[in-house]
Amino acid sequence: MPKTVTLGNGLAIGGDGFVVMAGPCAVESREQLLAAAHAVAAAGALVLRGGAFKPRTSPDSFQGLGGPGLELLAEAARLTGLPVVTEVIDPRDVPLVAAHASMLQVGSRNMQNFPLLREVGRQRLPVLLKRGAAATLAELLHAAEYVRREGNGEVILCERGVRGFDPTTRYVLDLAAVPALRQRTDLPIVVDPSHGTGDADLVPAMARAALAAGADGLLIEVHAAPEQALCDGRQALRPAAFATLMADLRRLAAALGRHWLRAESRAGSIPTPRHGVAANGCLDDEVIAP
């Protein structure tokens, strides 16, 4: 039987359900985060993603807000009712991040950071484990076992693309990994088409393909003003494009006989956004497509 991983609010990921986790790559400011958080909640995402700590290839790149970013994520969670998944990169920061999140993300650069894997394994929060950019599926499963051996069996695997030779896309999104992993593990599997392509124009097609391949969910980057993003703006969807994609995914899920998980208990409970954000979750000059 496929395993389900349950967040603290009762949301179960895995089984026959399908979950979309969305939000900005990095927390940059309160206004930026709340604009994205309200937009993804309004469109039907059930988990808010956002990085307070950002491991970057260049030491000169934006590294995230750290602790203040975690506080902003906690505020966004209170305002939208969405649980938060955010990355932890240092074993020493695990308790701090765990105090502000509903799920801990181990990014691709840290997939084989064994002290970090052991430390998140000692927590009692679900762990989203991303495949390394040059990791085999066997290595991904071994990394998951490091977490599970510490007593935490609540692990979700994430396919986010592997390094290829063609620079057309940022990575090669290996969707064959979804059915291949399904043969080898009972853990839930989600796909990140944002990092997997590096191009917002390619994200919708690969998101639909991931659903068709049998993924349990998606991890998608959304930013109200991608051209101003401090991190990976090129791959982030605008709120209107994200809402359109969510409508497409609902129709596809129905055609495939997949159960689209909803937040009925929170319907109509999203508070009025602040800082110039319209009630539809977009900035005032944007409109979400029907």
Residue 14 lies in a domain: yes
For residue 206, tell me if it sits in a domain.
yes
Let me know if residue 281 belongs to a domain.
Answer: no
Q: Output the DSSP codes for 74-100.
A: HHHHHHH---EEEE---GGGHHHHHTT
Does 283 reside within a domain?
no
- Angle between the 67-80 and 30-43 helix axes, to the nearest 10 degrees? 40
- Do residues 190 and 217 lie in contact, with contact meaning Cβ atoms separated by under 8 Å? yes
Q: Is 250 exposed, middle or buried (0-12, 13-18, 19+ CB in 10 A)?
A: middle
Q: Which two tokens stand for residue 207?
A: 């998101």
Residue 239 has a pLDDT of 97
**21, 220 contact by CB (below 8 A):** yes
Q: What is the pLDDT of residue 277?
A: 36
Q: What is the pLDDT of residues 119-137, one digit of tens each?
A: 999 999 999 999 999 999 9
Contact 139, 112 (CB under 8 A): yes
pLDDT of residue 62: 67
Domain extent for 99: 4-266
Answer whether residue 176 is part of any domain. Answer: yes
| pLDDT for the residue numbered 56 | 62
pLDDT at 63: 65
250 occurs within a structural domain: yes
95, part of any domain? yes
Q: Provide φ and ψ at 241, rounded to 5°.
A: -65, -35
| Per-residue model confidence (pLDDT) at position 276 | 36
- 222 bridge partner residues: 237
277 located within any domain: no
104 Cβ contact list (under 8 Å, min separation 6): 85, 86, 87, 88, 94, 97, 98, 120, 123, 125, 126, 127, 128
List the one residue out of 188, 180, 197, 193 whose CA is nearest residue 249.
193
Amino acid 272: pLDDT: 34
Indicate the DSSP class of residue 63: -
Q: Give the DSSP H/E element, type plus range, for residue 259.
A: strand 259-260
Q: What is the CATH number of the domain that holds 44?
A: 3.20.20.70
pLDDT of residue 57: 66
Number of domains in the chain: 1
Instruction: Please state the φ and ψ torsions of residue 281, each to the nearest 5 degrees.
Output: 90, -5
- Name residues of the chain where pLDDT drops below 70: 56-57, 60-64, 263-290
